[in-house]
Structure 1
Amino acid sequence: MKASAFLYPWDVVGDPDAAARLAGLGVEQVTLASAYHSTRALTPRHPGRRIVTAEHAAVLYPPGAARWTGRALRPYRQSWVAGEDPWAEAADTLAGAGLEVHSWVVLAHNSRMGAEHPDTCVVNAYGDRYPWAPCIARPAVHAYLVDLAAEAAARPGASGTELESCGWYGFAHLHAHDKVSGVALGDAAQYLMSLCFCSDCRAGYPSVGLDAEGLRAAVRRALEPVWAGSGSEEQGWSGVEKLLGADVADATLRRRVQVARSLQEAAVAAVRGAAPGPDFQVLLHADPASHRTGANVGTDPAHILSTADGVVLPCTGGDAAREAVLGPFAGLSGVLAANFNVVSGMGGSPGTLERDAAHAASLGADQLRLYHAGLASGPDLDAVTKALSAVRGG
Structure 2
Amino acid sequence: MTTPARPRTGAFLYPWDVDGDPAAPELLAGLGVQQVTLAAAYHSTRALSPRHPERRVVTAGHAAVLYPPDPDRWAGRRLAPCPAGDWAPGDAWARAAGALDGTGLAVHSWVVLAHNSRLGAEHPDTSVVNAHGDRYPWAPCIAHPEVRALLVDLAAEAAVRPGAAGTELESCGWYGYAHLHAHDKTGGVPLDDRAQLLLSLCFCPHCRWGYADGGADPDALAAAVRAALAPVWTGTGPAGELGDLAAPVLAWRAGTARALQEAAVAAVRAAAPPGFRILLHADPDPYRCGADAGTDPGHVLGLADGVVARPGRLAAFAAHRPPGSTVAANLSVVTGMGGAPGRLAEDARSALADGATELRLYHAGLASGADLAAVRAGLAELAATRPEASRTALP
The equivalent residue for 2:315 is 326
Asked if the contact 1:330–1:363 (Cα under 8 Å) also holds between the matched residues in 2, the reply is no
Distance of aligned partners of 1:34 and 1:367 in 2 relative to their CA distance in 1, 3 Å threshold: same
Q: Name which of 225, 241, 244 aligns with 1:243.
A: 241
Q: Name which of 215, 219, 225 aligns with 1:213.
A: 219
Q: Report the CA distance between 1:231 and its aligned residue.
A: 6.3
Q: Report the CA distance between 1:225 and its aligned residue.
A: 1.4
TM-score (norm 1): 0.94
Report 1 or 2 for greater relative contact order, CA contacts < 8 Å, sequence distance ≥ 6: 2
**How many pairs were matched up?**
377
Q: Which amino acid aligns with 1:335?
A: T
Give the 5 Å matches for 1:1-80.
Answer: 1-80=7-86
The equivalent residue for 2:336 is 345
Q: Name which of 134, 139, 161 aligns with 2:140.
A: 134
Return 82-91 or 119-128, whichever deviates more. 82-91
Q: Report the CA distance between 1:290 and its aligned residue.
A: 1.1
Q: Name which of 341, 362, 368 aligns with 1:371.
A: 362
What is the SS of the residue equivalent to 1:163? strand
Runs of 5+ unmatched residues, structure 2: 1-6, 386-395
Give the 5 Å matches for 1:1-394.
Answer: 1-81=7-87, 83-229=89-235, 232=238, 242-245=240-243, 247-275=244-272, 277-315=273-311, 322=312, 324-333=313-322, 334-394=325-385
Cα distance per residue 1:346-365 (max 9 Å; x no partner):
00011111011011111211
Query: Distance between the aligned counterparts of 1:254 and 1:201, measured in 2?
Result: 12
What is the SS of the residue equivalent to 1:96? coil
Q: Which amino acid aligns with 1:243?
A: E
Query: Distance between the aligned counterparts of 2:128 and 2:333, measured in 1?
Result: 32
What is the SS of the residue equivalent to 1:112? helix
Q: Which amino acid aligns with 1:133?
A: A
Distance of aligned partners of 1:217 and 1:65 in 2 relative to their CA distance in 1, 3 Å threshold: same
Asked if the contact 1:184–1:230 (Cα under 8 Å) also holds between the matched residues in 2, the reply is no
Query: Distance between the aligned counterparts of 1:377 and 1:82, measured in 2?
Result: 21
Cα distance per residue 1:147-190 (max 9 Å; x no partner):
00000000000000000000000000011111111111111001
Query: Distance between the aligned counterparts of 1:80 and 1:291, measured in 2?
Result: 37
Asked if the contact 1:52–1:80 (Cα under 8 Å) also holds between the matched residues in 2, the reply is no
Asked if the contact 1:183–1:230 (Cα under 8 Å) also holds between the matched residues in 2, the reply is no
Q: Which amino acid aligns with 2:358?
A: Q
The equivalent residue for 1:319 is none
Distance of aligned partners of 1:260 and 1:10 in 2 relative to their CA distance in 1, 3 Å threshold: same
Asked if the contact 1:184–1:231 (Cα under 8 Å) also holds between the matched residues in 2, the reply is no
Bigger proportion of residues as helix: 1
Query: Distance between the aligned counterparts of 2:88 and 2:276, measured in 1?
Result: 28
Asked if the contact 2:60–2:87 (Cα under 8 Å) also holds between the matched residues in 1, the reply is no
Runs of 5+ unmatched residues, structure 1: 235-241, 316-321
Asked if the contact 1:313–1:326 (Cα under 8 Å) also holds between the matched residues in 2, the reply is no
Query: Distance between the aligned counterparts of 2:320 and 2:126, measured in 1?
Result: 38
Query: Distance between the aligned counterparts of 1:366 and 1:51, measured in 2?
Result: 34
Query: Distance between the aligned counterparts of 1:38 and 1:330, measured in 2?
Result: 35
Report the aligned-residue RMSD. Answer: 1.2
Query: Distance between the aligned counterparts of 1:21 and 1:230, measured in 2?
Result: 53
Distance of aligned partners of 1:83 and 1:176 in 2 relative to their CA distance in 1, 3 Å threshold: closer
Cα distance per residue 1:128-164 (max 9 Å; x no partner):
0000000000100000000000000000000000000
Cα distance per residue 1:214-271 (max 9 Å; x no partner):
1011101111111122663x6xxxxxxx5222x3222211110100010000000000
Cα distance per residue 1:270-320 (max 9 Å; x no partner):
000010x220000000000111100001111001011111000012xxxxx
Asked if the contact 2:167–2:278 (Cα under 8 Å) also holds between the matched residues in 1, the reply is yes
Query: Distance between the aligned counterparts of 2:160 and 2:320, measured in 1?
Result: 29
Q: Which amino acid aligns with 1:295?
A: A
Query: Distance between the aligned counterparts of 2:247 and 2:371, measured in 1?
Result: 43
